[in-house]
Structure 1
Amino acid sequence: MKQQSERLGTEPIPKLLAKLSIPAMIGMFVMAFYNVVDTLFIARGVGILGVAGVSIGFPVMMILMAVAGAVGIGGASVISRKLGNNEQETANQALGNIFIMMVVVSAVATIGAFTFLEPLLILFGATPDIMPYAMDYLFPIMAGSIFFTFAFASNNIIRSEGNSKFAMITMIIPAVLNIILDPIFIFGLDMGVKGASIATVISQASVVLVIAQYFLRGKSTLAIGKQYMKVRIGLVKEILFIGLPAFVRQVGGSAMMVAINAMLIKFGGEFEVGVFGIVQKLSMFAIMPMIGLLQGMQPIVGYNFGANNQGRLKETILLGLKVSTLMSVIVFVVMLAIPDWLMMIFTSEAAVIDAGAQAIRIIFAAAIIIGAQIISGGLYQALGMARPAFLLSIARQMLFLIPLVLILPHLFDLGVVGVWIAFPVADVLAFFLSAYFLYKDRKLFFVSKEEKRVQLEKTSPSS
């Protein structure tokens, strides 16, 4: 086993978490920055209808990412625990089965681009004015889905073996390339929204070549070969079962977008859909560092759980919760203090700025508690505890947010404001559910006073 995987069970937790989380945070930051810049170019080069088209098409893309994410995260959990338990052969087989599933998923998406894309967009709320922009954005992405699925799933696998720096590189390469290509295709070649989409596909294709070289040249702890590229039903079931919460969370995000867009069109119009398209990109930018922290934690948690090292497991979880809470406080302060300035990055239209600033202040009113929600669901996933991971993954978006989005606009003539209010209410409810699970499993997650005393004795100079 390579040193990058062995250190998951030996290196001091604060140092190890920093080594794994900071590259993940940088990678997520760059990815989020690319999403913001992408929206900025579309807003400046096409207009608010172009942003609305992307906003309508994005849920379809989220479903594609949901499948790849479920396979990648589920596979990463299996691989981390198998490596921790010295089951190298099974870990290699898991990798082979992940690749097989990605080929199947991308084939279905590519066929869908040529057959049922327009009806799907109508189902997701595209109006006649928005449809051309949504089609231009989504068709190239679905046609080139093999690059998205492979890159998205492989990133989780690379991180699961402890190679966080390379995982970061696989996120930075497409993001930087996309930022460079966007103005060329959108403005230089006058391709509008379609140009942004093609730039994204080219960027993802480039990083797939880099990832392929990583595995083929033996830089990974894992091995690939014909003997591992055979469907093993037991492994497939385990990967999908553990990855199910991630799939549901992403699909829930897609359903949430559909519900929000429908309510915004009903109580406002296409203008509000465009405004939310901008706010949603800012929201992704805000939570990406917390997701990066979680991605750094998951291989440590999975490996030490597999190795039955409870002390390191608990120390990782407690530190992660503390850091994520600090991040939540920073997001809360920034979003409530300067929402107007954030909107000005995308547009100079006063109406868009005012509407977006109001939405941001309401949506992030309870942002101070979102860190614990993100960390808790991911922890259960890393441990292979699918049932609580599943419930926590669907809680905020599907159990709370979607019903609130559909109900609140009708109450007290709230209209569009009711859509925004649904966010902080859902955050509060999801937080209490996360707190309940963490308290219920506190013996597994948190270090007791006696355990802390024993750890201090082991690490003291006199011991």
Structure 2
Amino acid sequence: MSTTIDFAGEKTLPALLKMSLPMMAATFLSMAYNLVDSLWIGNLLGEEAMAALTSSTPVILLLNAIAMGTAGGGSILLSQAVGAEDRAARERLLSTSFFVSLGLCLLLTAGSEALLPLLLRGLGTPADILPLARDYLAVYLLGYLSVFLYNYFAAVLRSYGNTAFQAIAMLLCTLLNAVLDPLFIHWLGFSGAAVATVTSQMTALAIMLVYLARKRLFSCHIRQFDRGLLLSLCRSALPSVVQQGVPAVSTAFLTGLVSGYGVSAIAGYGVACKLEVVLLYPAVSLNMALTAIVGQCVGAGRPDRARDYLRASLLFGSGLLAALTAAVLLLARPLAALFLSGEAAVSLAARYLLVVGVGYLGNGLANCFLGAINGAGRPGTGMLLTALYHLGARIPLAWLASALGFGLTGIWCAVLAGHLVAALSTQMAARRLLWGEGAPSLPAAAKK
């Protein structure tokens, strides 16, 4: 298996764009995928259905975060093995991480199905929309295995510098979902949207598997399962899962706070969250791209190249996010009106975007720094930083603002503060790690 991009040897900006642009295309398509769901649900089924979808979203985000974090943690080690050109380590990592991921996914699916009512009540879901949210999630969980495995295989491809196929798979999946959504909603109501989502996700996984088989880019054998790698995988994957999961917990907490302000507030907040992914997903793409890039540079013994890629990503990401933020803020109200006709919900969504607006640039910078920190083999540091600005800033500030009577605007200001804290804290940590101590070497467990 060969690397698609030699990050240690190629020119910085062309290699960064070659890696990150297909990933951004894939995440924008994923965004379109989610927006299509919301557009059909909001326009065909109304405000209550949109509120039920919003109440379901934190559970979906948390499950997806675990899938992405598990895959991302394994890809840190795999990227470093690729950079070191250690074929034996790559093969052991692939087999071990695959079987661990499969077992974890099955446990999560069974546990989530059993705990659905408890989870939704814990989120403060109003009683009149709880059955809708429960039915939607019950169907969604049937396809969780495909989500988990798709994220796993996409992370494997990223480790080798291959991101173009992910964009193609997501394009086909998004188009299929756009066609199936109105059909299944017409036949099955609100749960029909979940059926369309599950069908599309399974299709994306099938496309990914066909590609991997034809290109012979993945091999997995039980005899290559290496128990000696389990500790290294846990040390890498658990912090990555927390990094992905803490924002989902934060969103769940905010959803619970907003639920106390009524169904219109939940629906408006849900629309705002759908729109802000236009500004969050490019940053997430740069995070994942830098994790693989810096991992390869570290494995090749070139921390100087890792620093070059971080600088380039900061410049590129800042310019892109500034332009996107300006566009979204200018069009906040008409964009929100595409989802719902209720004036209260539309106004709430537009106000959220206007208050939080400047924070999206900070979020983009933070994601670049976190990607570099993770790729350098310090996912634990990334985990602590993520916990700091969500659990130490956003959540307590949002609770305090609501408790003191500042209402929804106070909660939105807490979200803004979290983004700004993230930018400052991650910048300080990345500078110390990549410019101070230098990049760590390939973990011994992957070398053996």
Please classify the TM superposition score into its range, dividing by the shorter chain length: over 0.9
Q: Whole-Å Cα distance in 1 between the matches of residues 113 and 23 of structure 2?
A: 35
1:209 aligned residue: 206
- Residue type of the alignment partner of 2:223: Q
Name segments (4+ residues, structure 1) moved above 6 Å. Answer: none
2:130 aligned residue: 131
Q: Whole-Å Cα distance in 2 between the matches of residues 429 and 174 of structure 1?
A: 36
1:446-461 counterparts in 2 under 5 A? none
Q: Whole-Å Cα distance in 1 between the matches of residues 92 and 214 of structure 2?
A: 18
C-alpha distance 33-114 of structure 1, shift in aligned 2 (>3 A): closer
1:53-452 counterparts in 2 under 5 A? 53-112=52-111, 114-187=113-186, 189=187, 191-220=188-217, 222-228=218-224, 230=225, 232-266=226-260, 268-411=261-404, 413-441=405-433, 443=435
Q: Whole-Å Cα distance in 1 between the matches of residues 276 and 324 of structure 2?
A: 10
The Cα shift of 1:226 comes to: 3.6
- Residue type of the alignment partner of 1:71: T
CA deviations over 1:310-359 (Å, ceiling 9, x no partner): 33222111101111111231233223322112212212322222221112
CA deviations over 1:419-451 (Å, ceiling 9, x no partner): 1111111112222212221332352699xxxxx
2:441 aligned residue: none
- Which secondary structure does the structure 2 equivalent of 1:9 belong to? coil
Q: Whole-Å Cα distance in 1 between the matches of residues 266 and 36 of structure 2?
A: 18
C-alpha distance 365-313 of structure 1, shift in aligned 2 (>3 A): closer
Q: Which runs of 5+ in 2 are unaligned?
A: 439-448
User: Aligned pair count?
Assistant: 438
The Cα shift of 1:217 comes to: 3.5
- Which secondary structure does the structure 2 equivalent of 1:8 belong to? coil
- Residue type of the alignment partner of 1:314: R
Q: Which moved more, 1:249-258 or 1:277-286?
A: 249-258
- Residue type of the alignment partner of 1:194: S
CA deviations over 1:2-42 (Å, ceiling 9, x no partner): 2515x233221211111111110101111011111211111
CA deviations over 1:67-126 (Å, ceiling 9, x no partner): 211221011111110111121122122111222122222322332354222122112222
- Residue type of the alignment partner of 1:2: S
Q: State the TM-score, normalizing by the size of structure 2.
A: 0.92
Contact 2:278/2:324 (8 A) holds in 1:
no
- Which secondary structure does the structure 2 equivalent of 1:77 belong to? helix
1:19-58 counterparts in 2 under 5 A? 19-58=18-57
Q: Which has the larger radius of gyration?
A: 1
The Cα shift of 1:53 comes to: 1.1
Q: Which runs of 5+ in 1 are unaligned?
A: 447-463
The Cα shift of 1:147 comes to: 0.7
Contact 1:400/1:430 (8 A) holds in 2:
no
Contact 1:75/1:243 (8 A) holds in 2:
yes
Q: Which moved more, 1:314-323 or 1:205-214?
A: 205-214
C-alpha distance 285-336 of structure 1, shift in aligned 2 (>3 A): closer
1:14 aligned residue: 13
C-alpha distance 386-3 of structure 1, shift in aligned 2 (>3 A): closer
1:2 aligned residue: 2
The Cα shift of 1:282 comes to: 1.0
Contact 1:409/1:416 (8 A) holds in 2:
yes
1:449 aligned residue: none
Q: Whole-Å Cα distance in 2 between the matches of residues 120 and 369 of structure 1?
A: 31
Contact 1:110/1:145 (8 A) holds in 2:
yes
Q: State the TM-score, normalizing by the size of structure 1.
A: 0.89
2:446 aligned residue: none
C-alpha distance 114-328 of structure 1, shift in aligned 2 (>3 A): closer
Contact 2:372/2:430 (8 A) holds in 1:
no
Q: Whole-Å Cα distance in 1 between the matches of residues 10 and 27 of structure 2?
A: 24
CA deviations over 1:116-138 (Å, ceiling 9, x no partner): 22122112222211112211210
- Which secondary structure does the structure 1 equivalent of 2:391 belong to? helix
- Which secondary structure does the structure 1 equivalent of 2:4 belong to? helix
Q: RMSD across aligned C-alpha pairs, in angstroms?
A: 2.0
- Which secondary structure does the structure 2 equivalent of 1:438 belong to? helix
Q: Whole-Å Cα distance in 2 between the matches of residues 254 and 64 of structure 1?
A: 9
Q: Which moved more, 1:364-373 or 1:147-156?
A: 364-373
Q: Which moved more, 1:93-102 or 1:68-77?
A: 93-102
